[in-house]
Structure 1
């Protein structure tokens, strides 16, 4: 298999399109982004020298609405990554019933090597030199290397350029910058709602055990909500290490420990394990919530979970998925499980457009309604076609995009 993420996304497109009998012209339109930009950002560094950074932005498909989300700042950022991420966001928005297309991009840089002033100049430069932007065109959000502060800088820079307030033009902002409630917890909360629905449908009991790889915002929020429901947390890991206790881990005590020590490693009463060992511990449900490709050909045969909920983006390789499916392990894909953040970003834009901001419970209940509907649609397609949840999610998304493209006249209807 190619290591190119865009080629991987195209492989998934063609497989799902064949299953769903998607219009051939729609598939052709989705084989490349509608627009892609590569530009440079000059920054005067603290020592006086001029550094020039590469930046990328992709508007993959806007058949369902304006494009949006993440801006990633990492040393290995490139156009193929932006294209793949933009395509996946297109699918994720369609799965989640969000009236938006997929936009992604970023800057080739290491934020840890920049001073605060240098990083602010870089982020403001991204908005300044981004060729197309604005509430109705492209709404950048946060991703790896970006956060509430960077999004506030983006908004301030955009408003300075435009000459008027435009809170709906940037996503993932703090409340103080016209952001939305539940922004930080959106992905983990959405993952909990989907897990709850899946376990109900599969007859998995509320007391079932689970393990979480990655105890950041997503994994921690999902774990706390699952424990409130009665599930038993038996293993957790982060970048520093992992812990296991088959009798159960007190999630509230663990939270207090993590707040103090910034890691789960060393939590009392548990056996120390590595993050890779966590994937193989005995449990009913596994939540990979860290990085991509952690479940691969080398460890898929050792995973003991009956259900995998993909909280991270792309945690399971295609080769591993085939092995797991042959063993009867059910995988619920990332484009469904972790689309809670995309849904709440859509709510953030709506609130900014209307100048009417919702309380926390309103955001939570609307997120629940939207993501449960997304799961139900995916499950219905899986049953209709007799396919996996991943194939069903992609077919469901492609059908929505297909209808939009056909009615707009971008593609012509053809007999199937």
Structure 2
């Protein structure tokens, strides 16, 4: 049985009346890590599940030989439309209200509906040092560590920031390793739902690996091409919310309505946008061999069970999308330097290890992939508890 969260906060915005939430699932050495999302319809239950997922990510990527001090899991969420012109003001009021927790307990970054630059600018305005300042007391050489992370955030590769790329690379490597160790050989077409930070980078790395990205969806609909989309062209004509400019599509590209992303023929499906988008009702439309959760909680538990009964494997979110969180701390603590090649090598190596270990554990113990990954994470969480209390 899952332990209750350490702390849950519900906030009401005095300007719009919208609700915001913060859940700290667990503290390790007094600190928890997890991003802040903004979307219409966000609930406390959703944020609670996301915070638990962050705890599992921290556990899964714990390396007792590494420099990183593991953290607990947390998550923030605001029930508001990020496209609304008042969105930034709502974020500012939320972060101001959560200031005491940010100062001492909660390290946060971007998530669905929010960009890191918005969070950073608000953090500066309200007089805080950083969105991750709660971790500063755990650093041996704070100045060097902060400079290293800042340098890493300035790195761009092919027009995209390193901080954006590492998450997508992790998902792509989880996909490639999953296909390999599960024996899912042959030509593999991919559909990516969502073309924001995670979805866009995932599509880039999968295309670079030789897979045909035949469908990409955004808030306006689905862009398809049975021969494979020009991912780099789509990335060049993408807005800050992941929307693709339809005026710059290539010959052969087609358009479908937003709900058609499940209907594009493909062997790999990567939901990289919103939670709960695959449910018991629409899972029957999926014909892929492998679903890789780039978003947080995109597949409901019932849908995952039904997919499994049809032989469709699901790589869980806290495995597939864990590289972004881990890269922040690897860089801050010095397990990797501010260097793209070093970051990419670390992400690829770690994701191969995680996915291979998960599949091997599942085969050995007769478990599903999620249950196997949970077992691996829980084992590490016990070790963290024993070491740090």
Query: Is 1:123–2:123 an aligned residue pair?
Result: no
Does the CA-based 8 Å contact 2:182-2:359 persist in structure 1? no
Give the Cα–Cα distance (whole angstroms) in 2 for the partners of residues 294 and 364 of structure 1: 29
Residues 365/167 of structure 1: CA separation in 2 closer, same or farther (3 Å cut): farther
What CA distance in whole angstroms lies between the structure 2 residues aligned with 1:360 and 1:60?
A: 32
Report the secondary structure of 1:133's partner residue. Answer: helix
1:170–1:270 Cα change, 3 Å: farther
- Give the distance between the partners of 2:29 and 2:356, measured in 1 at CA: 20
Q: May I ask how many residue pairs the two structures share in their alignment? A: 363
* 2:110 paired residue number: 142
Q: Does 1:34 align with 2:14?
A: no
1:281 and 2:245 aligned? no
Residues 26-65 of structure 1 mapped to structure 2, 5 A cutoff: 27=1, 30-39=2-11, 54-63=19-28
227-236 vs 267-276, which deviates more? 267-276
Mark the CA change 1:199 to 1:125 in structure 2 (over 3 Å): closer, same or farther: closer
What is aligned with 2:142? none
Stretch moving more, 397-406 or 224-233? 397-406
Please show how residues 203-214 of structure 1 align to structure 2 within 5 Å: 203-205=183-185, 207-214=187-194
Determine helix, strand or coil for the equivalent of 2:367: coil
Partner of 2:269: helix, strand, or coil? strand
**In 2: Cα distance, 1:64 partner to 1:332 partner:** 30
Question: Contact 1:206–1:231 (CA<8 Å) still a contact in 2?
Answer: no
- Structure 1 residue 246, shift from structure 2 partner: 2.5
- Distance across 2 between alignment mates of 1:95 and 1:238: 30
Is 1:84 aligned to 2:49, yes or no? Answer: yes
2:36 matches 1:71: yes
Residues of 1 paired with 2:246 and 2:61: CA distance?
Answer: 32
Structure 1 residues 205 and 224, CA, compared in 2 at 3 Å: closer, same or farther?
farther
1:385 aligns with 2:365: yes
Matched, 1:169 2:111: no
CA RMSD of aligned residues (A): 3.5
C-alpha displacement at 1:192, in angstroms? Answer: 0.9
Q: 1:109 to 1:216 in 2, by over 3 A?
A: closer
Q: Which one of 244, 251, 263 corresponds to residue 262 of structure 1? A: 244
User: Do 2:194 and 2:216's aligned partners in 1 also have CA atoms closer than 8 Å?
Assistant: yes
1:193-204 mapped onto 2 (5 Å cutoff): 193-204=173-184
Give the structure 1 partner of residue 304 of structure 2: 321
Q: Give the CA deviation at 1:60.
A: 0.8
User: For the Cα contact (< 8 Å) 2:152–2:338, is it kept in 1?
Assistant: no
Following TM superposition, by how much is the alpha carbon of 1:174 offset from its aligned partner in structure 2, in angstroms?
12
Cα 1:105/1:197, change in 2 over 3 Å = same
CA offsets 1:225-275 (integer angstroms, 9 cap, x no match): 122222122222222122333333333344445579834686531343233
CA contact (8 A) 1:149 1:174 kept: no
Q: 1:3 maps to what in 2?
A: none
Secondary structure in 1 matching 2:208: helix
Corresponding residue for residue 74 of structure 2: 103
How far does the alpha carbon of each residue in 1:46-74 deviate from its partner, in whole angstroms, 9 at most, with x for none? xxxxx676543222112487201212234
SS at match of 2:102: coil
Taking the aligned partners of 1:64 and 1:388, their CA distance within structure 2 comes to 32
Q: Secondary structure at the match of 1:235?
A: strand
The Cα shift of 1:208 comes to: 2.1
Q: C-alpha displacement at 1:155, in angstroms?
A: 4.1
In 2, the alpha carbon distance for the partners of 1:109 and 1:294 equals 18
- Please list every run of 5 or more consecutive structure 1 residues that lacks an aligned counterpart in the other structure: 1-26, 44-50, 410-416
Displacement of 1:40? 5.6
2:342 to 355, 362, 365: 362
